[in-house]
Structure 1
Amino acid sequence: MTTLALVGSPLWYGSRAGGTLALLLLTATVVLGIASGGRASPRRIGRFEIGLLHRNLSLLTLMFIAVHVVTAVLDPFVHLSWAVSVVPFGASYRPLWLGLGTAAFDLLLAVLVTSALRHRLGVRRWKAVHWLAYAAWPIALFHSVGTGTDTRLPLQLWLYAACLASVVGAVWWRLAKAGPERVVGRWVATVAATAVPVVLAVFLAAGPLQPGWAQRAATTTILLGGGR
């Protein structure tokens, strides 16, 4: 194995940087969407400006996801095919964790396509699909935590903590501003805002923060993906 393979190739660093920036941008997009909806919508800023910022953040997120995917596929160390970028859980390298990232990407693509066809689909159908963006965020977070070989680095952990705190804080703030209607939606948001931090903390303590996580993830790869 060459020294370059030991320290990571430029493509590997590009993939990790693109993935981290994509997660940060997705977090900002989700926080903005949560904090600016319904009764929580700010009074001093027009909906047009908020919508434009939300759209631009979404496009930036997809751009950095594209960088993340392209550099990961081109990196010769993991030998990923282009099909892995759209077909979840089909990779021979850590299929579970990479599959989560692919699933999140597919959800965001569905939001992008339906947004382009918004006038043909109608507002109700578009909103139903648009909620997938909120589901994509925790999936992307667990993908990053489970796959990332730098998860144990303090800076990376602080980034994950900031993303989690931002989204959970936005959810609780939105719940505080919400009216008595939509009881089911408020219960779902409450359960999610409580469960995601707990599950993530347990997963980190039992998995990526423990010694030998890379080998354990490789074992999962062999069992699920039939890899070497």
Structure 2
Amino acid sequence: MSSALWYSSRAAGIVALVFSTAVVVLGFLNFARFSTRRWPRFALADLHRNLALASLAFLAAHIVFAVVDGYVDLGWLAVVIPFVSGYEPFWIGIGAVAVDLLLAIVVTSLLRTRMPPRCWRAVHWLAYLCWPVALAHSVGLVASDKARPLLIALDIACLLAVLAAASVRFSSTSPDAALRR
């Protein structure tokens, strides 16, 4: 049973990383006001939101499977308190930092209509810090995995996707900015 939980935790973590990468990419593209006839902005926003929810579900599964597995010393507190894990305390701690940042994003997103837009936006920018921290968690734990070359390639592909979307975002001038000038 422990082997199935370990593989399930790894798989859920990988899917969560891929989905969160897509969320960050879509966030950059939506902020850059990217759209086409087939992909209007509202469709990108809906996809962004739905992938974010799916990413949260896979992240929750990743965490639950890892803690319940019991193969390594990983307690529930290590999920939210960085660097207290008995197993790989630094890399698991980095994952806990990512979880804490993500919790701030989720809570403020749930309260979005009850808070000033600038405040929500400021906290939402934590996603751009949360994602590389989560990627670092992945990269740091890949060293112990037998599928190392494939996982390294996946981490590189995720990084390249985010860098490409960031370059689109920062190289384009949004229509709103042009109107404000």
Bigger Rg over Cα: 1
Amino acid at match of 2:165: A
Change (3 A) 1:151 1:26: farther
The residue matched to 1:28 in structure 2 has which SS?
Answer: helix
Q: Is the 8 A contact 1:34 1:170 kept in 2?
A: yes
* Identical positions, percent: 48
Match status 1:164 vs 2:180: no
Per the normalisation by structure 1, the TM-score is 0.71
Deviations 1:85-144 (A, max 9, x none): 111111111111001111111111111110111111121000000001111111011101
1:1-38 per-residue CA deviation (whole Å, 9 max, x = no partner) reads xxx9xxx7111111111111110000000000001214
The 2-side partners of 1:49 and 1:20 are apart by 25
Range 152-161 or range 55-64, more displaced? 152-161
1:46 corresponding residue in structure 2: 40
Post-superposition offset of 1:81 = 1.1
Q: 1:147 aligns with which of 141, 152, 158?
A: 141
Which of 49, 54, 59 is the matching residue for 2:53? Answer: 59
Give per-residue Cα distances to partners, 1:156-184, cap 9 Å, x unaligned.
121111101100111112121136xx9xx
Shift >4 Å, 4+ stretches: none
| Paired residue total | 174
The answer to whether structure 1 residue 19 and structure 2 residue 36 are counterparts is: no
Gaps of 5+ in 1: 183-228
Question: Match for 1:162: what amino acid?
Answer: A
SS at match of 1:91: coil
Q: Which residue number corresponds to residue 113 of structure 2? A: 119
Q: Give the match's secondary structure for 2:35.
A: coil
Structure 2: how far apart are the matches of 1:77 and 1:153?
A: 20
Counterpart CA distance in 2 for 1:151 and 1:109 is 31
